[in-house]
Amino acid sequence: MARMKFYCDPERCIECNACVTACKNENEVPWGVNRRRVVTINDGDEGERSLSVACMHCSDAPCATVCPVDCFYTTQDGVVLHDKDICIGCGYCFYACPFGAPQFPEDGAFATRGKMDKCTFCAGGPEADNSSDEHRKYGSNRLAEGKLPLCAEMCSTKALLAGDADTISEIYRKRVINRSASVMARGVSYRDASFRAPRNASGKSSAKE
Amino acid sequence: MARSITLQIDNRNKQHAGWLLLLLLCLFVQPFDTFAKASESRGIPSAVVLNPAAEIWRDVRQREQLTNGTSQVKGVDSGVLINAYGDQWRNFRMQQLIPIGGFLLIGVVIALALFYLFRGKVAIEGGESDKKLLRYTNYEQLIHWFIASIFLFLAISGLIILFGRPVLIPIIGKEVFSIIASACKEGHNLMGPLFLVALILIFIKFVRRNIYQKGDLSWLLRGGGIIGKKHVPSNFFNMGEKTMFWMLVLVGSVVIISGFVLIFPIFGQGREWMELAHVGHAIGAILMISVIIGHIYIGTIGMEGAIEGMKTGYCDLNWAKEHHDLWATKAEQQGEAISNDKVSQLREVSSAQPLGGHVQEE
Amino acid sequence: MSEKFEQGVQALRQQIDARISAYFSSCVHCGLCAEACLFYTETNNPRFTPIHKLEPMKKLWRREYTFWGKLAAAFGLGQSLTEDDFAEWETLVYDSCTLCGRCSMVCPVGNDITYMIRKQREGFSVAGYAPDGMKEATRRALKIGSPMGVTYKTLKAALAHVEKDTGMTIPVDKQGADYMTLFSSMEIVNFPEYIESIARIFDATGVSWTISSKAFEATNSGIQIGNKEAAAEIVNRVVIAAEKLGVKYVISPECGHAYTAIRWEGPNLIGRKYPFEVIHILELLDQLKKEGRLQLEYKDSIPMTLHDPCQIVRRGGVVKQPRDLLNSVAEHFTEMKDHGVMNWCCGGGGGVSANERAEPLRLQVFNRKKRQLDELGINTMVTACANCRITLEEGLEHNEMDAEVISLTELIADHLVKDESKV
Amino acid sequence: MGQFIDGPLWAFSLGVFVLGVIWRVVTILIAGNRSDLATAKGSAGKGAIRAVFSRFIPERTVTSRGRIQLIAGYLFHLGLLALLFFAKPHVDFIAERITGLSWSAMPHWAFIVSAEAAFIGLILLWLHRVLNPVTRLLSDLDDHVGSILVFLVMLTGCLALAQSFEPLRLIHLLLAELLLIYFPFSKLMHAFTFVMSRGYTGATMGRKGINA
């Protein structure tokens, strides 16, 4: 039994947002909903890192725990999905999720948020695989076709990996060995290796100020 | 910061607890200390299979300054990598609010049932007299039943949302329950603001009679007459009623404000605000419901003659003398006591309608 | 009795026209009319709610004109109008309604409740459920010619008295006069000063006028009790007399409901238009003043207020004239808080003053007027209705108030320019 | 069941409503009024038109003594009219099912605010009806059925706000249909006949030269 996971390598992510675009396109998500987003830490400063974030498909998903109508379920592949026919749009999953994955299509005055939408690991929803209903509500079901989520497949630097946890772990392990340690723990990995001291100016040219 | 929010929650409760229902709140406060420790040890959700991302996320999490970044995706909190309080809120909701809140409400009902078995209906000792006093004007009854109906609707719909998953889903299934829950959610959100309107009306009309006075302390010390079985002198409202009024106003304000924070997620308030608001909303609501259950008990089966004032506008003179003698004596001296016949003429009771009222104020 | 009841129901049925159907269809039982009715505001008795006084008529309407009523009737269910309803509602319809029309002004759906009560009285009177005082008054009006039993002989005596006091000749039965004037029997009996005032004003302004010995009575008990045959008969007397004398105008006296009767209901009662015009004495006085024929001198300095007679102002449309006239003779004329078409009734209109058993209630609801006066602090009340005058005076006396009620026409007569050369 | 409510029953209730209202108005008109023979002082037509509009504004007497009813009445009627004709789901429904014409709807928040105003108004009016001695005396079954039916339609509408649960929409629709069927046979007709009542009274008053 596989356990599907995402992994984003901050050493490789170049904040190109291709994963975000791919996801939107593949799943035809409504306006205002972003199942995936790229977060940049220390933008423009030393130690700038980007991470592509979406639902992490937790094993003990907080969203599923707090849902008042119990609309979440975990597939055999370890993908956390939800049933939009049952969702009442209360927003509790959004409060509980550490990653900010649950999204809502409406602005929410008087708490009208609409049905929650989130990353499905390109695995659709409870409806029959690749049925039109499923596509309308949840977008693509690539997993049923034997494909991985498009965001990961599109990633040009292969920063974003998706797939069975064991396989990804293995890839990651190899990368870490090559880099010799965890990037975050050590700070900027290639600063020490660079030929000259960093320039006084900080960050990239498109720095937002 | 994780600690500070816990402390904040903690303090809020201690403030209420200080002058409200001390005993009840201790139930809430105590688990909060354990809650803080528990959340630390839990850390991130334990993974059955090691997630290769776990390491990096743990790194992110340990460095608080790193949790806030920027994102091309625009939206509230979209730059936040980790919402550290989500898990605390989840623990509060699942391990404290639902079980403790549920048992508290059941406990109140059981306690009242036991009290009823023990004490029975408090009768008017002198029996009904042939005179009545005007207790509530038409307008006062109107706003009372207005806030009552809205409160009941909000309480029931809120309780369904809160306890539906453990209580109702096993009985009626997810599909049916989600319909009911959606109805409750939409109704709760739409009717919620009406409670503010009703509370303002109630506050303006009743605040003057609810200011604490001399004698209220002795009422409290004698347990409102439960201790010693003797009626304690009180004015138009007794200490218990005044306390309920202020509880309704203050806890009600907390519930209203937190409710607005929750139903208007358009002012850029982040998740931590909404989580905090939810905590305040839930604790406040459960407190209010508990107290109102007691209020309803006294009004219906607990005490003879207590509901008459709100039902008909008039209360029996003997009842008034027993329970609100300072007010009743003064009113009687001023010649405000009206004969039962006159009351039935003013209320036109000949047309057999169940509810009553009083002539309009000029 | 039962036959009479049937006739009463039939009479009631005949009254239900499009207006009443629309009114009953529109009424949402909001109860706002109660807040406009002095019988409710002064007693707080919900039974005095104006629309509630129409329950018998509504019962009939509901049973015979509505879907549910007809359905229930077809299955022998529901309530039909009973004689008990008449008995129970008699006091509500006659004692606690002065047909003042205030409720009709506030109804949010625009129901003319007063009109309906007036029509409902038709059924009640036919069924025999009317106060004895009013029945008697109507009988006397038909038989003797005046509800108070005033005959031409009494009038003649009063006229002789006036002639003696003023030295004028009062024209009686003068063919071809412009104006034929009517009196209320209350004026003849209680306020002969009114006759004198009229005579002096007309003399001073040179109006060609006369009094008919056949029809001098303006009051119409038929209108009050709700008996259209009687009302038509009383109107008809005036019309015939006026036609016979060939006058151009008939002057309605100060009396309130007399104006409604002769001016607004009269043509409909007799079923034809008049060949003459009906004009209220105040309208005529105002017209004379505007034409410059009525010359008035000096203004009274005592503060005065005006009591609007409902039937002349609210139900009659003579709103502006009394104010203009009063302003021309009073320096300090202050309006009551509720005045004009929203005035409060004296409590004795619509036949209530002729109804002895209603007296305690009438005196109770006088509190409204008392409060209005107390608010103003004015002790001189000018009015233009003999019936109001009597009711007000009784109310003032009952409350031991030191206030005076004067007739506007008499006040005007007192201010006539005393120059004999001016004609 | 759902198909029945959304199909034949809808058509039937709309038919009953339209025909019923016409029938009621016609029966009132058939009863007829006698023409007024008294010489008029003013215009009946003008008086009628004036009364139809002027009665939207309350008289001062009532503004102090009937304040609650007036405030509640305005809140309820204005709120109900706004949400009936300018709420997005209703505009869409009317355009799709009845007129084919569409007009711009209120923003969602305005829809909710008007619904809230209508709820405040209706709850207060009904409570006033049962608490105040005058209205309690006057009220009959029709008043209560009408109020409660309107309340239920509004309540189910508010419960169905999420617009994503078909059963909730059907309950709302079913109650609205019952209301439409009940409408012509009840006091709710005042929504149409008030024009006639005000008109008749205004015409009479107008002839007498009084502003009513």
CATH of residue D16: 1.20.950.20
**C230 and C117 fall within a common domain:** no
How many Å separate Cα C208 from the centre of its chain? Answer: 27
Tell me which of B361 and B143 has the higher pLDDT: B143
The amino acid present at A45, given as its one-letter code, is: D
What percent of chain A is modeled with pLDDT above 90? 34
The DSSP bridge partners found for residue C383 are C407
Using CA coordinates, name the residue in chain C closest to B348. Answer: C46
CATH of the domain at C356: 3.40.50
Choose from B137, B144, B145 for mutation: most chain D CBs within 10 A: B145
Q: How many CA atoms lie within 13 A of D136 on its CB side?
A: 26
Q: Does B201 touch chain D (CB under 8 A)?
A: no
**C159 and C99 fall within a common domain:** no
The amino acid present at A51, given as its one-letter code, is: L
How many Å separate Cα B223 from the centre of its chain? Answer: 21
Distance from the A26 Cα atom to the nearest Cα atom in chain B, whole angstroms: 17
C252 is in which domain, residue-wise?
A: 135-291
Q: Which helix (H) or strand (E) holds C407?
A: strand C404-407
Residue of D108, D112, D164 with shortest CB distance to A115:
D164
User: Domain tally for chain C?
Assistant: 3
The DSSP bridge partners found for residue B133 are B315
Q: Does C44 touch chain B (CB under 8 A)?
A: yes
Using the structure block, give the residue that is written with the tokens 């849902």. Answer: A67
Q: Does B179 touch chain D (CB under 8 A)?
A: yes
Distance from the C399 Cα atom to the nearest Cα atom in chain D, whole angstroms: 25
DSSP state letters, D112-126: HHHHHHHHHHHHHHH
Q: What is the pLDDT at residue B225?
A: 65
> In chain A, where does DSSP find H-type helix?
18-27, 62-66, 92-96, 132-138, 150-154, 165-179, 183-186
Contact call for residues C145 and C217 (beta carbons, < 8 A): yes
Q: How many CA atoms lie within 13 A of B60 on its CB side?
A: 28
CATH of domain A4-186: 3.30.70.20
Terminal C-alpha separation, chain D: 51
Contact call for residues C255 and C189 (beta carbons, < 8 A): no
Distances (CA, A) of D68 to C31, C127, C305: 12, 40, 32
**C311 and C394 fall within a common domain:** yes
What does DSSP assign to residue C208? -
Of A126, A127, A103, A125, which is closest to residue A115 (Cα–Cα)?
A103
Q: Within a domain: residue D192?
A: yes
Contact call for residues A146 and A130 (beta carbons, < 8 A): no
Mean pLDDT of chain C: 87
Using CA coordinates, name the residue in chain B closest to C32. Answer: B360
D89 burial class (0-12, 13-18, 19+ CB within 10 angstroms)?
A: middle
Query: Using CA atoms in the order C18, C21, C23, C29, what is the torsion angle rounded to 10 degrees?
Result: 180
DSSP state letters, D32-89: --PPP-SPPSS-HHHHHHHHHHHTTSPPHHHHHHTHHHHHHHHHHHHHHHHHHHHSHH
Q: What is the pLDDT at residue B202?
A: 93
Window 105-124 of A: residues touching D by CB (8 A cutoff) are 109-110, 112, 114-115
Distance from the C396 Cα atom to the nearest Cα atom in chain D, whole angstroms: 24
C100/C53 Cα distance (integer angstroms): 14
Paired tokens of A177: 């060995």
Residue of D124, D133, D162 with shortest CB distance to B347:
D133
Q: Within a domain: residue D38?
A: no
D112 and A110 within 8 Å at the Cβ level: the answer is: yes
Paired tokens of B118: 């023990």
B346 and C35 within 8 Å at the Cβ level: the answer is: no
D197 and C267 within 8 Å at the Cβ level: the answer is: no
B283/B9 Cα distance (integer angstroms): 10
What subunits make at least 3 CB pairs under 8 angstroms with B?
Answer: A, C, D
**C36 and C99 fall within a common domain:** yes
B47/B39 Cα distance (integer angstroms): 16
A39 and B264 within 8 Å at the Cβ level: the answer is: no
User: Domain tally for chain D?
Assistant: 1
C73/C51 Cα distance (integer angstroms): 24
Q: Within a domain: residue C419?
A: no
D162 and A89 within 8 Å at the Cβ level: the answer is: yes
Q: Is the pLDDT of residue A192 over 60?
A: no
Q: Among C252, C269, C291, give the residue marking a domain's end.
A: C291
B99/A25 Cα distance (integer angstroms): 43
D162 and A109 within 8 Å at the Cβ level: the answer is: no
CATH of B89-339, one of 1.20.950.20, 3.40.50.740, 3.30.420.40, 3.40.50.800: 1.20.950.20
C377/C359 Cα distance (integer angstroms): 26
Q: Write the pLDDT tens digit of every residue in C113-157.
A: 999 999 999 989 888 888 888 888 888 888 888 888 888 888 888
Using the structure block, give the residue that is written with the tokens 């079913």. Answer: D174
Instruction: State the pLDDT confidence band at A87, using cuts at 50, 70 and 90.
Output: very high
D6 is in which domain, residue-wise?
A: 2-31+45-208
CATH of the domain at C256: 1.20.1050
Q: Does B45 touch chain A (CB under 8 A)?
A: yes
The DSSP bridge partners found for residue C264 are none
D10/D100 Cα distance (integer angstroms): 16
- What pTM, to 2 d.p., does this model score? 0.87
Q: Write the pLDDT tens digit of every residue in C359-388.
A: 888 888 998 888 888 888 888 899 988 888
Q: Within a domain: residue D99?
A: yes
**C88 and C179 fall within a common domain:** no
Q: Within a domain: residue D59?
A: yes
Q: What is the ipTM, given to two decimal places?
A: 0.88
What mean pLDDT do residues B232-237 have?
A: 80
> What is the three-class DSSP state of D10?
helix
The pLDDT tens digits along chain D (212 residues) read 778 888 899 999 999 999 999 999 998 898 888 888 888 888 888 989 998 999 998 888 788 888 888 999 999 999 999 999 998 888 988 888 888 888 888 888 888 899 999 999 999 999 999 998 899 889 888 899 999 999 999 999 999 888 888 899 999 999 999 999 999 999 899 999 999 999 999 999 998 888 76
The amino acid present at A29, given as its one-letter code, is: V
Contact call for residues C234 and C222 (beta carbons, < 8 A): yes
Choose from C29, C45, C64 for mutation: most chain D CBs within 10 A: C29
Distances (CA, A) of C301 to B321, C327, C330, C332: 57, 11, 6, 6
Other beta carbons within 10 angstroms of residue B46's beta carbon come to 10
Top-ranked range on mean pLDDT: pick from A176-185, B56-65, B217-226, D175-184: D175-184
Contacts of B44 in chain A (CB under 8 A): 98
**C156 and C286 fall within a common domain:** yes
Distance from the B77 Cα atom to the nearest Cα atom in chain A, whole angstroms: 8
Distances (CA, A) of B8 to A151, B36, C404: 40, 12, 75
Sequence spans of domains, chain A: 4-186
C415/B120 Cα distance (integer angstroms): 81
What mean pLDDT do residues B228-248 have?
A: 81
Q: Among C251, C268, C291, give the residue marking a domain's end.
A: C291
Contacts of D116 in chain B (CB under 8 A): 190-191, 193-194
C–A contact (≥3 CB pairs within 8 Å)? no
**C144 and C269 fall within a common domain:** yes
Q: Within a domain: residue D37?
A: no
Choose from D127, D143, D152, D169 for mutation: most chain B CBs within 10 A: D127
D156/C192 Cα distance (integer angstroms): 71
What percent of chain B is modeled with pLDDT above 90? 33
Contacts of B190 in chain D (CB under 8 A): 112, 115-116, 119, 158, 161
D112/D204 Cα distance (integer angstroms): 41
**C143 and C124 fall within a common domain:** no
Window 145-164 of B: residues touching D by CB (8 A cutoff) are 145-146, 149-150
How many Å separate Cα C276 from the centre of its chain? Answer: 21
Instruction: State the pLDDT confidence band at C186, using cuts at 50, 70 and 90.
Output: confident
Instruction: State the pLDDT confidence band at B44, using cuts at 50, 70 and 90.
Output: very low
Q: Does D204 touch chain C (CB under 8 A)?
A: yes
Q: Which residues of B273-296 are buried (b: 16+ CB within 10 A; e: fewer)?
A: bbbbbbbbbbbbbbbbbbbbebbe
How many Å separate Cα A183 from the centre of its chain? Answer: 20
D122/B334 Cα distance (integer angstroms): 37
Q: What is the pLDDT at residue A180?
A: 54
What does DSSP assign to residue C300? B
Q: Among C130, C163, C191, give the residue marking a domain's end.
A: C130
D65/D73 Cα distance (integer angstroms): 14
Q: Within a domain: residue C183?
A: yes
Angle separating helix axes C67-74 and C55-65, nearest 10 degrees: 70
What mean pLDDT do residues C13-22 have?
A: 90
DSSP state letters, B161-196: HHHIIIIIHHHHHHHHHHHHHHHHHHHHHHHHHHHH
Which of these ranges, B291-295, B320-324, D76-80, D136-140, has the smallest mean pLDDT?
B320-324
> In C53-151, where does DSSP find H-type helix?
55-65, 67-74, 83-94, 102-106, 113-127, 132-143
Q: Within a domain: residue C422?
A: no
Which backbone phi and psi does B143 adopt, to 5 degrees?
A: -70, -30
Contacts of D36 in chain C (CB under 8 A): 267-268
Residue of D133, D162, D164 with shortest CB distance to B357:
D133
Q: Within a domain: residue D134?
A: yes
D115/D111 Cα distance (integer angstroms): 6
**C152 and C233 fall within a common domain:** yes
Residue of A40, A42, A62 with shortest CB distance to B90:
A62
**C327 and C231 fall within a common domain:** no
Q: Is the pLDDT of residue B55 over 90?
A: no
Residue B77's region, left for phi above 0, alpha for psi from -120 to 50, else beta, is: left
Q: Write the pLDDT tens digit of every residue in A116-162.
A: 999 999 998 898 888 999 998 899 999 999 999 999 999 999 999 99
Distance from the D115 Cα atom to the nearest Cα atom in chain A, whole angstroms: 12
| Angle value at C-alpha B195, between B27 and A116, nearest 5 degrees | 75
